[in-house]
Structure 1
Amino acid sequence: MTGPLTGPVARPRVVAHRGNSAVAPQNTLAAFEAAARAGADALEIDVRLTADGEVVVLHDDTVDATTNGSGKLADLELREVRLLDAGSWFSPAFAGQRVPTFGEVIDLLRAHKGLDLLLEVKGPWTAQEVRRVTEPLRAAGLADRTVAQSFWPETVAALRDADPGLRRGLLVTTTPDDLVERCRELGVVMCNPMGTVLRDAPDAVAWLHDAGLATAVWTLNEPEHWAAAVALGVDEIITDRPDRLAGWLAGRD
């Protein structure tokens, strides 16, 4: 994946937001396979812990929005989560899709050698907890294909402490004056802003690059937004439509 840069790139990488989530239920193996077929350079996924400390792929802190179950994930054990249908809410064609385990994602990435991982760790995790993702990545030989990121600085710091060599990113919704200093303290290689930052602070990409930080902007789904991001020199575009973005970029080439 992208590391520190000396300047803007000619063509950003395509990052599939929760998989190809416009054509398959988000954060499922079906969406991840669809992203691989669409030509995405990387998957962006969200991980959380179950009540019994297992790592699963889920965006929300409850299972209500994307499964046929209800309640907080942190109150459910893995065996309960795996009984849930994570596909029918999107379309009957995806009935029976399950909330993936992190192990299943690792198996998928090993099968798709050209697909990298942008791993969002949701919420505050300790160094002991994040080893539940860093150690399997190392064991599978996938660490060099991964950037682990979070909105929570304490989680980014825990990733640093658990595996100093694993590349890290900080997710942001604004660009405070001390952002570069904060990134340096955390030792991240990427600072990944919300799309509105490009509108409100169009020089942010340039000064993040000047600080040696790559940028992956989220979540852009329209050609006019892709064009603006390309013009500013972003390194990666996170999108719900990796198929369309890949085609749009190919057309520009």
Structure 2
Amino acid sequence: MKVIAHRGNSWVAPENTLAAFEAAWRAGADSIELDVHLTADREVVVIHDDTVDATTDGSGAVGELALADVRALDAGAWFGTGFAGQRVPTFAEVLAFLGERAGIELLLELKGSWSADDVRLVTEPLAAAGLTDRVIGQSFWPGTVAALGEVAPELRRGLLVLETAAALADVPADLRALLPEAPTTAALVDLCRELGVVTCNPYGPLLARQPDLVPALHAAGLQVMVWTLDEEADWAAAREATVDAVITNRPDRLAGWLATTAAAPRESAAA
């Protein structure tokens, strides 16, 4: 089971910053998950929300700010004074980071709806840096995933999933009517095949609410990378469900837990 660092090692450093990515690499994570948006001048920046309010000292929508304005913001002081001065990274900085650190991959989430022209702002720099084979591009938006496939069919792709129809079966009808329509497992598998993805990445609680989901995805030849699990009980359940990877805010702890629990049976047998 692989370890994917959610927004970097985001429990020890401010999320989606170079400091968090460095901490994830040093913790031995197999991959770093991060999020990208486009600025008003169509530059790719690494930030989760569509506004800068939550993780910087500024305010406003990312898509309405120029790159220079986003880069002027402090993206670290909110987390701790020792991280003051951290900036919202550019995608170019992420590529340089990967290029200098062998052995770690990137799970790249494109937030929202991206056109083919938008997607090229990510895929072309990836190809130029020779890093395409170390990256999986993913999104909740099927149209964005399709655009990735159209522009860069050689790039591995993934589909993020929040809910499925089976998981919502026990939700009262009046409440369910207020929620977005969720696919059946069969429809989800069909969508993944249509999009040509290699991985389908569900929300962690779906493992318990829909125990047949992982087997169905595996039977279709898909990997499963579940998000975002930070507790030992959840890691154990994910391993029991035979997921391929866990996306976590605590990659160092998960890596240690995996090493310890894998060694324990051998030590008991030797005793």
Alpha-carbon displacement from aligned partner over 1:131-171 (angstroms, at most 9, x marks no partner):
11111111111111110000001100110111011010000
TM-score (ref. length: structure 1)? 0.95
What is the aligned partner in structure 1 of residue 205 from structure 2?
196
2:232 pairs with 1:223: yes
Greater relative contact order: 1 or 2 (C-alpha under 8 angstroms, separation 6 or more)?
A: 1
1:245 to 215, 238, 254: 254
The amino acid of 1:111's aligned partner reads E
RMSD: 0.6
Matched, 1:212 2:221: yes
Give the structure 1 partner of residue 157 of structure 2: 168
State the Cα distance separating 1:113 from its structure 2 match.
0.7
Aligned to 1:43: 32
Secondary structure in structure 1 of the residue aligned to 2:190: helix
Match status 1:106 vs 2:99:
no
Matched, 1:56 2:65: no
Distance in 2 of aligned mates of 1:173 and 1:97:
31
Residues 59-70 of structure 1 correspond to what in structure 2 (within 5 A)?
A: 59-70=48-59
TM-score under structure 2 normalisation?
A: 0.89
Q: Partners of 1:141 and 1:213 in 2: how far apart?
A: 25
Q: Secondary structure at the match of 1:195?
A: coil
Deviation at 1:199, TM superposition (A): 1.1
Instruction: Give the 3-state SS of the residue equivalent to 1:243 in structure 2.
Output: helix
- The secondary structure found in structure 2 opposite 1:46 is strand
Residue 252 (structure 1) shift: 1.6
1:141 matches 2:130 = yes
Query: Which of residues 64, 69, 75 is equivalent to 1:80?
Result: 69
Gaps of 5+ in 2: 165-182, 263-271
In 1, the alpha carbon distance for the partners of 2:190 and 2:146 equals 14
- Letter of the 2:153 partner, please give it: P
Please name the residue that 2:178 is paired with.
none
Partner of 1:18: 7
Unaligned runs of 5+ in 1: 1-11
Tell me which stretches of 4 or more aligned residues in structure 1 moved more than 3 Å: none
CA–CA distance in structure 2, aligned partners of residues 227 and 140 of structure 1? 37
Equivalence for 1:27: 16
Separation in 1, partners of 2:123, 2:206: 30
Deviations 1:38-75 (A, max 9, x none): 01000000000000000000000000000000000011
**3-state SS in 1 of match to 2:149:** helix
Deviations 1:5-58 (A, max 9, x none): xxxxxxx10000000000000000000000000010000000000000000000
The aligned residue for residue 177 of structure 2 is none
User: 1:248 corresponds to which letter in structure 2?
Assistant: W
Q: Which residue of 2 aligns with 1:93?
A: 82
Q: Which amino acid aligns with 2:130?
A: G
Structure 2: which amino acid aligns with 1:77?
A
CA apart distance, 1:211: 0.2
Paired amino acid for 2:227: W
The equivalent residue for 1:7 is none
Q: Which residue of the partner structure matches residue 8 of structure 1?
A: none
From 165, 169, 187, the equivalent of 2:196 is 187
SS in 1 for 2:223: coil
Identity %: 64
SS at match of 1:106: helix
Letter in 2 for 1:210: A
Q: Could you tell me which amino acid in structure 2 is paired with residue 140 of structure 1?
A: A
Once the two structures are superposed, residues 67-113 of structure 1 have per-residue CA deviations (whole angstroms, 9 ceiling, x without a partner) of: 00000001100000000000000001000000000000000011111
Q: Which amino acid aligns with 2:138?
A: Q
